Amino acid sequence: MHGMAGDIPPEDFVVALCREAGRVSLSKWGGSLQISRKGEVDLVTDVDLALEELIRESIIRQFPKHSVVGEERWHEDTARRADYVWLVDPLDGTTNYVHGHPVFCVSVALMHMGDVILGCVYDPLRDELFYAAKDAGATLNHGPLSVSHTNSLISSLLSTGFPYERASIDDSNVDQLGKLINGIQGVRRSGSLALDLAYVAAGRLDGHWEFHVKPWDVAAGSLMVSEAGGRVSAVVGDTWSPFETDIVATNGEIHEALVAALRRDG
């Protein structure tokens, strides 16, 4: 990344941005929300929209040449082509948030020429801030992160998620979960993919898999897993980017076994 220093935000800028978004989401939590539906079970609130605008304006003010895309302002062409593009999910876990279930976060990542170079995930309820920069490691509240050393599926605690359109598609992950459930120690479903990936990086989970994922959900967390010593891939194929539609993120030691189990037919 030599020669790009002027275009790469300092850590304190990103941290302050995520903390402010988290503070706002927490201040509105449990209050009256304006809720609309993007699909039968896919919700968006006025808080999602306001936070995305807050983050976008803050970034553009400091870095006017950067592009900002997110869940509520998604332009895939911009995301794929811009030199510097921020992938923003200002409220990952909207369904939890709406129901008062205490699991949600802010997720922000910066890509340069298609590579994620920094990521931040902030959980305002627990005041836990996960941060990663490419080739510089990953941290939780400034302490170093490291993945777990669990080396077998039967001893693994995994997490997963299910797509909003699960009722109308074949690969809804229900079959895969059914195949895996008896061969692992346990499975969790938090409702926040960004936090799930941060937890893999922190060693709290041994791995995560999910289908029909979106770039803004996985960009920050995938970098954290890699920088904490883990491994990220698609179910099929060794290369991975935030534009893949599925993700397997693990401590590395169980990666091949989990991928093999997810690929298995019958």
Question: CATH number of 153-263: 3.30.300.180, 3.90.1150.10, 3.40.190.80, 3.40.50.300?
Answer: 3.40.190.80
Residue ranges per structural domain of the chain: 5-144, 153-263
Considering only the top CATH level, what class is 5-144? alpha beta
Single-letter amino acid code for the residue at 119: G
pLDDT in tens, 102-134: 999 999 999 999 899 999 999 999 999 999 999
Below-50 pLDDT ranges, the chain: 1-3, 41, 266
What does the DSSP assignment read for 95-133? HHHHHT-S--EEEEEEEETTEEEEEEEEETTTTEEEEEE
How far are the Cα atoms of 22, 36, 79, 231 from residue 226, in angstroms, in the given order?
24, 35, 21, 6
**pTM of the complete model:** 0.92
Predicted local confidence at residue 30, as pLDDT: 79
